[in-house]
Structure 1
Amino acid sequence: MRLFWLTLLTLCAFAANSLLNRAALAGGGADPLAFAAIRVAAGAATLLALVQVRGKRLPALRPVPVLALAAYMLGFSLSYLELAAGTGALILFGGVQITMFAGALLSGEKVPPRRSLGAALAFAGLVWLMLPSAGAVPSFRAAALMLAAALGWGIYSLAGRRVADPLASTAANFLWCLPLAALPLIWPGATLPNAQGWLLALVSGAVTSGLGYALWYALVLQLGAGRAAVAQMAVPVIALLGGVALLAEVPGLPALAASAIVMAGVALATLPRR
């Protein structure tokens, strides 16, 4: 029972990243680039502290995961200028699964037909979700930015499959990502958040990202890869419900139907055969 509640807490933390980002941007409390920079900085500080407590050392710089993490952070924040929290989480989650599926194909991994069908179904659901008739995506730009974030997180996940110490590697990646995330702030016209924006960004970085990732790495060892993949399917659902309850972002029936197709495809691709 303890494992269940800790897993649910972590999944809520992941979904909260969408809610916090959307709340900060929709309320005008933060610029998306400033939010991303503060989130990365707070996450890096938290993860570095955890690594120090464990007495570990940071690994050497690996450019691919650092660039992928920067793409995720910036695309994620910029897309929430327009996307609802639940819609953004769904595009992100479906896009990550498709990216990892493509990565498996490119690496020569044998992909069972069931997983291929699931990826195709999730892709079809995403296409429908982004059509004007679904009424969920206000612009192609917003969807493209979240898909870029999904591509970044998918590549980041693929790059981290064989690291010796996931927590130390994530801390190092956050640290090296910080200059990239903070670079846009030196452009003319860059603005800093108000007090509420600072608070939401710090919570997103230190708590729901930093501590959330640290707890997730500990839980994955107990859950196993299969159950962990299935558990993550709850993140878009939690974000969607949170968007309705906390942000009054109620999706229409076409958007809900498209969302159900995406989730069905992800379930088909990740659930065990039994």
Structure 2
Amino acid sequence: MRIFLLTALVMVAFAANSVLTRFAIAGGHIDPTGFAVVRVLSGAVLLALLVVLRGGRMPLLRRQQGLGAVTLAIYIIGFSLAYLTLDAGLGALILFGVVQIAMFAHGALFGVTPTPRKLLGAGVAFAGLVLVLWPSQGVAVDPLGAVLMIAAGLGWAAYTIIGRGASDPLAGSAGNFVICTPLVAILLLVQPTFYTPAGIALGVVCGAVTSGLGYALWYAVLPRLAQATAAVVQLSVPVIAILAGALLLAEPLGAKVIIATALVLGGIGLAVSARSAPAGRS
């Protein structure tokens, strides 16, 4: 029950990232580049401060730390730039679809083959996600935006997989954010940016609380989750974000969203309650 509640809290934090980002950028408080930089910088500052106050050290020179920082940067940069051209719902569909596929493929290749029940649960959840996020009318997809969001999905999947081996989730997350900050700041060299006090405040909350602390908690929960389960539960994030948007941002909520939510949550229930099979067996 404790792991379930912590995992649910992480998913809410991830969904809050989407809500905060939508409110900040769509509201004209800050541009995507500025938001990405404020987000990662504030996360790095808070996490590093917590590590120092705890009397610990950040493992900045380890190979795993470098890989974690690079994959985090790929996710943040790809996510931010993709939303310059992609519809928010379509972008989320591409992102979490890629995450699910990448994590299932990695698990199947490295010894944790998903069982038929997990695959069925993932399929049901993904079908619900497609239903809720797929545009009602045809929308042209910008090829560059799609490629950037695919890169973001691969980056987040890799960051999640790498995080399963973190011995100290807080220190590991702090190191990732610190190393990631200058990588994301490169955006300032290629994209014009603007800031407002409200935009900076939203970026700080998103970076320090829902990203920084949320990712540290995710690293702590990951070792207790099967990889296929970790992939599927993340499909709940867009649905949570849409429901929160309806409540907090007055975004429309129709019957399609309600049906899709039931599909996603039902599929997650199937996958989470199933056992994994060794590689080569089903």
| TM-score band w.r.t. shorter chain | 0.7 to 0.9
* CA contact 1:18–1:88 (8 Å) conserved in 2: no
Question: Aligned partners of 2:122 and 2:40: how far apart in 1?
Answer: 30
Letter in 1 for 2:189: I
Cα displacement string for residues 74-122 of structure 1 (whole angstroms, at most 9, x for unaligned residues):
23233445544x7755654443222210111232433322223334445
Q: Give the alignment partner of residue 171 of structure 1, picking from 174, 187, 192.
A: 174
Question: Aligned partners of 1:231 and 1:103: how far apart in 2?
Answer: 16
* CA contact 1:19–1:243 (8 Å) conserved in 2: yes
Cα displacement string for residues 185-235 of structure 1 (whole angstroms, at most 9, x for unaligned residues):
023x511321211111111011211233344555x39x9436x95875653
Letter in 2 for 1:194: T
- Structure 1 pair 268–143 and aligned structure 2 pair: CA distance change class (3 A): farther
- Give the match for residue 209 of structure 2: 207
- Give the match for residue 24 of structure 2: 24
- Give the match for residue 225 of structure 1: 225
Deviation at 1:172, TM superposition (A): 1.1
Cα displacement string for residues 47-74 of structure 1 (whole angstroms, at most 9, x for unaligned residues):
1111112222222243432221112112
1:242 matched to 2:244: yes
Say which is worse superposed, 194-203 or 161-170, in terms of deviation: 161-170
Letter in 2 for 1:204: C
Indicate the percent of aligned positions where both proteins have the same amino acid: 52
1:155 matched to 2:145: no
* CA contact 1:87–1:136 (8 Å) conserved in 2: no
Question: Aligned partners of 2:124 and 2:150: how far apart in 1?
Answer: 17
Aligned residues: 267
* CA contact 1:21–1:80 (8 Å) conserved in 2: no
- Give the match for residue 116 of structure 2: 113
* CA contact 1:83–1:138 (8 Å) conserved in 2: no
- Give the match for residue 33 of structure 1: 33
SS of the residue corresponding to residue 40 of structure 1 reads helix
- Structure 1 pair 13–122 and aligned structure 2 pair: CA distance change class (3 A): closer
* CA contact 1:137–1:143 (8 Å) conserved in 2: no
Letter in 2 for 1:22: R
Letter in 1 for 2:178: L
* CA contact 2:93–2:130 (8 Å) conserved in 1: no
Deviation at 1:241, TM superposition (A): 1.2
RMSD (CA atoms): 3.5
TM-score (norm 1): 0.79
- Give the match for residue 68 of structure 1: 71
Deviation at 1:2, TM superposition (A): 9.1
Question: Aligned partners of 2:208 and 2:24: how far apart in 1?
Answer: 16
Cα displacement string for residues 132-169 of structure 1 (whole angstroms, at most 9, x for unaligned residues):
5x359773555554443222111111112112222211
SS of the residue corresponding to residue 211 of structure 1 reads helix
TM-score (norm 2): 0.77
- Structure 1 pair 254–246 and aligned structure 2 pair: CA distance change class (3 A): same
Say which is worse superposed, 35-44 or 63-72, in terms of deviation: 63-72
- Structure 1 pair 136–115 and aligned structure 2 pair: CA distance change class (3 A): farther
Question: Aligned partners of 1:150 and 1:253: how far apart in 2?
Answer: 28
- Structure 1 pair 21–135 and aligned structure 2 pair: CA distance change class (3 A): farther
1:183 matched to 2:181: no
- Structure 1 pair 162–136 and aligned structure 2 pair: CA distance change class (3 A): farther
List gaps (5 residues or longer) in structure 2: 276-282
SS of the residue corresponding to residue 29 of structure 1 reads coil
